[in-house]
Structure 1
Amino acid sequence: MPDPAQREMLMRQEASRQTGGQVALTAAEQCLDARLHRLKEQEMSAALFPPTLHFFKAKPLIEQSTIFRLLQKMPKGAALHIHSSTLVGVDWLVKNVTYRPNCYICFTWDNSVRFLFSDRQPFPRWDCFYWQLLRTLRARIGDPTEFDNSLMQHLTLLTDDPDSAYPSQDIVWEKFEKAFIAAAGLITHAPVLRDYFYKGLEELHQDNIMYLELRSGLSRTYELDGTIHDKAWTLKTFQVVTKKFTADHPDFLGTRVIISVHRALSVSEVKAAVKEAIQLQKDFPDVVAGFDMVGREDSGRPLWYFREALSLPADLGVTLPYYFHAGETDDEGTGVDQNLLDALLFNTTRIGHGFALARHPVAKEISRKQSVAVEVCPVSNQVLKLISDLRNHPAAVLMFEGHPMVISSDDPSLFGTTGLSYDFYQAFVGIGGLKANLGTLKELAVNSIKYSSLPPPLKERGRHMWQDKWDAFITESLEH
């Protein structure tokens, strides 16, 4: 018969390897951990277990969860993977922004919408033959509630019946891309961008997040008279709004931008974008964190296709950190499936999604050795149909091996979420199962500062700020 002491030792050894397995918990933390464990057992034995359901169906159940309410109050550190066009809830875009003066709308031939702010009737263009002033249109409708709800549908993937609405990855991605294009006309209007960014930081702050790294294409921001601003103008705006926000909220550490371009571009276009990013990082060293390529991996060109453009910084002897989306695919063995290895060959600082990483032993080994953290976005992976039951998410393997990782939310407004609490819930309860504990949560939050692009003194400051919030959270949680 096997030795019970040896069995006990093996179990302890396994537990020590998982994310948070080396974290020593104080007596107070152990109390909260025991409570979390009991709550998790209850939720896992319920008839409907949220991580097994499509997120749009699970969302109301998650919102009733005691664990979720605790996670909302928990200081989560930093959000390191959010796209700028999806930072703010669509209800604000529709009920605030589309009610502003000079907002025009057009309905396209492919059942989408476009918005434009203009001081005169906009000219027809290929996708928009007829622009109407929204104010006039609403006046004709009378009660605009239903109309506003229909506008929101164009800006989010949220739906009551996701299985019928999105039977395949192709269909959900098509709607996903359309929503980005629809929102662009609202968000890139200069006065809106300022309010939008401030509102986004407010939503993160309310969810107990203290720092943001935003992926942004720094789209062409425009004025009412049609004037277009350059990317430097947009970065300056981010800088000014962040400064105002941190003055209003001294417990917020700040924001940085990862400049992103779409993988549908040509090599020469990406080359020009890399050159521009190098210059912008020189001009805004405190704002620009680095560079990434975005868009659906499965239908886009692999990173290796852009090797000439991506080698530019090294050829020029300059540093431009990369934060590549890689492995956001379930297509094993395709050219796209090599993106993980290529991202590491180009010295990526972090890996966006890394859904396929568990199936790449060499990439997994290199990323662990080089401390290249994976940005895990559970809700996004499920809604975009990479996985249906989050208990089977490949990040479970990474979590139990203590692989460097952070939790993020990718495109909150498209999924009807805000901040990081929903993704933390799915990672903690679904991906981590009963093994994930308070030490896991603590390490994941600390990781978000550790693997951020902040310089060491700011990381240190962030870590202290976070620790104070954490201690207060533990005390407060045990009082209730």
Structure 2
Amino acid sequence: MVDVEWLVKNATYRPHCYMCFTDGASVRFVFASQGPKPVERCSPWVLLQSLRAKTGNVTDLDNSIRGNLTLFTDRDPETEYPSQEVVWARFEAAFGALWGLVTFAPVFRDYYMEALNQFYADNVMYLELRALLPQVYELDGSSHDQAWTLQAYQDLTKQFISTHPDFYGARIIFTNHRHAELSVVAAAVKEAMRLQKDFPDFLAGFDLVGREDQGKTLWYFRDALALPAEQGVTLPYFFHAGETTDGEGTEVDQNLLDALLLNTSRIGHGFALQRHPVAKDLSRKRRVAVEVCPISNQVLKLVKDLRNHPAAALMMEDHPLVISSDDPAMFGSSPLSFDFYEAFVGFGGLKSHVGSLKQLAMNSIRFSALTPKKRGDVRTEGNPNS
């Protein structure tokens, strides 16, 4: 979410920040009051403060760290990332590198506040964030549970609103990884139900994230995902589905239809929706919006020319769409406006006009997890004449 420059200059310059180099030519970070425990397939930890004092060129070191935290490249992207396998490997490695930085409690709090500042500066007035709700750790190695993490998100959001009263707020979509075992996802769904009871106005729902082509299907997790209905609990789902180009006929290719059968509130990416006319018709009739992430789809090699993006046809068919940014800092882009620009010029072509942008912006409210009354309040605050 946050510009990588902020992470390098802010987080990695804090005291007690250690770094190691992995066998996969990436890095890992951890904050510790004393030397951290060794990590498998990672070189011995080195205190960054000491490393910077010894190195002859701090700028090169910082640039090297920055390169491990983003997919942005000064080289030809087609040469740097010749296939989806290569770009996804780099994508996941960058998340691994980020993890120890952003889950350190002081950085976690500052990182989220900086994210709100950057999204606000980009004219985002309401945010729904997918989050793994990690066990945030302290300098002494102790860690907090997921309820603490969600409470921190909520408290920080309220704090931000107190100084930015025109910012409408944020909600969290609790996520787990689609590579996890069924028992792990079942435990996550149960935890999501508990957290929703304690945070009814802040926890929006649940999703599974990760590379869809290589992950387990929604059908594999059907018993876990059926738990809320079996217990009479309404837990909204916001499933990633159809973020694939070459899975036609595979089990993964059924995720779109299964997402709809599981009553998903929105479809994350939905890039393959055009290949599924029944699912497409069903989602259009139910007004289940597709969260389109133009830059992400382009960088992760789902589409090269955005004029050929399936969303262009979906727009012409009046299928509900919302524009999202996925992981903007990872791509070196703005929080949201760059994605809106690419959607504007790429999907609508010469027929795009200010009304197209207005419709997409209104869709962000219409298909949000806000209650109907709050959606009306947001529209009224944003446009007194609406």
Q: CA deviation at 1:460?
A: 1.4
**Which residue in 2 is equivalent to 1:250?**
165
Contact 1:264 1:300 in 2 (8 A): yes
Supply the distance in 1 between the matched residues of 2:13 and 2:361 (Cα, whole angstroms).
Answer: 38
**Which residue in 2 is equivalent to 1:271?**
186
**Which residue in 1 is equivalent to 2:19?**
105
Q: TM-score, normalised by structure 2?
A: 0.98
Supply the distance in 2 between the matched residues of 1:387 and 1:402 (Cα, whole angstroms).
Answer: 21
**Which residue in 2 is equivalent to 1:224?**
139
Structure 2 residue aligned with 1:127, among 36, 41, 44?
Answer: 41
Which letter maps to 2:236? P
Matching of residue 344 in structure 1 with residue 263 in structure 2: no
Task: Report 1:316-335 matches (<5 A).
Answer: 316-331=231-246, 332-335=248-251
**Which residue in 2 is equivalent to 1:411?**
327
Supply the distance in 1 between the matched residues of 2:232 and 2:333 (Cα, whole angstroms).
Answer: 41
**Which residue in 2 is equivalent to 1:283?**
198
Which letter maps to 1:188? T
Structure 1 residue aligned with 2:347, among 390, 408, 431?
Answer: 431
Supply the distance in 1 between the matched residues of 2:250 and 2:37 (Cα, whole angstroms).
Answer: 43
Contact 1:322 1:348 in 2 (8 A): yes
Supply the distance in 2 between the matched residues of 1:180 and 1:464 (Cα, whole angstroms).
Answer: 38
Matching of residue 146 in structure 1 with residue 60 in structure 2: yes
Structure 2 residue aligned with 1:215, among 127, 130, 137?
Answer: 130
Secondary structure of the corresponding residue to residue 304 of structure 1: coil
Contact 1:292 1:322 in 2 (8 A): yes
Supply the distance in 2 between the matched residues of 1:129 and 1:136 (Cα, whole angstroms).
Answer: 16
Supply the distance in 2 between the matched residues of 1:182 and 1:444 (Cα, whole angstroms).
Answer: 34
Q: Which has the larger radius of gyration?
A: 1
Secondary structure of the corresponding residue to residue 228 of structure 1: coil
Matching of residue 365 in structure 1 with residue 281 in structure 2: yes
Contact 2:329 2:335 in 1 (8 A): no
Matching of residue 454 in structure 1 with residue 367 in structure 2: no
**Which residue in 2 is equivalent to 1:186?**
101
Identical aligned pairs, as a percentage? 62
Supply the distance in 1 between the matched residues of 2:382 and 2:215 (Cα, whole angstroms).
Answer: 38
**Which residue in 2 is equivalent to 1:445?**
361
Task: Report 1:164-183 matches (<5 A).
Answer: 164-183=79-98
Length, aligned pairs only: 384
Supply the distance in 2 between the matched residues of 1:224 and 1:189 (Cα, whole angstroms).
Answer: 8
Which letter maps to 1:422? F
CA RMSD of aligned residues (A): 1.1
Task: Report 1:60-139 matches (<5 A).
Answer: 87-139=1-53
Q: CA deviation at 1:129?
A: 4.3
Contact 2:213 2:252 in 1 (8 A): yes
Which letter maps to 2:381? M
Task: Report 1:187-202 matches (<5 A).
Answer: 187-202=102-117
Gap regions ≥5 residues in structure 1: 1-86, 472-480
Gap regions ≥5 residues in structure 2: none
Which letter maps to 1:226? G
Higher helix share: 1
Structure 2 residue aligned with 1:304, among 219, 238, 242?
Answer: 219
Secondary structure of the corresponding residue to residue 121 of structure 1: coil
**Which residue in 2 is equivalent to 1:374?**
290
Q: CA deviation at 1:407?
A: 0.4
Contact 1:105 1:131 in 2 (8 A): yes
Contact 1:105 1:134 in 2 (8 A): yes
Q: TM-score, normalised by structure 1?
A: 0.79
Task: Report 1:366-405 matches (<5 A).
Answer: 366-405=282-321
**Which residue in 2 is equivalent to 1:233?**
148
Secondary structure of the corresponding residue to residue 290 of structure 2: strand
1:34-76 CA deviation, whole Å, 9 max, x = no partner? xxxxxxxxxxxxxxxxxxxxxxxxxxxxxxxxxxxxxxxxxxx
Could you say if the C-alpha distance between residues 227 and 362 of structure 1 is closer, same or farther in structure 2, counting changes exceeding 3 Å?
same
Which letter maps to 2:208? M
Greater RCO between the two (CA within 8 Å, min separation 6)?
1
Secondary structure of the corresponding residue to residue 357 of structure 2: helix
Secondary structure of the corresponding residue to residue 406 of structure 1: strand
- Select between 275-284 and 454-463 the one with higher mean Cα deviation: 454-463
Contact 1:88 1:418 in 2 (8 A): no
Contact 2:70 2:331 in 1 (8 A): yes
Secondary structure of the corresponding residue to residue 226 of structure 1: coil
Contact 2:241 2:256 in 1 (8 A): yes
Supply the distance in 2 between the matched residues of 1:467 and 1:365 (Cα, whole angstroms).
Answer: 32
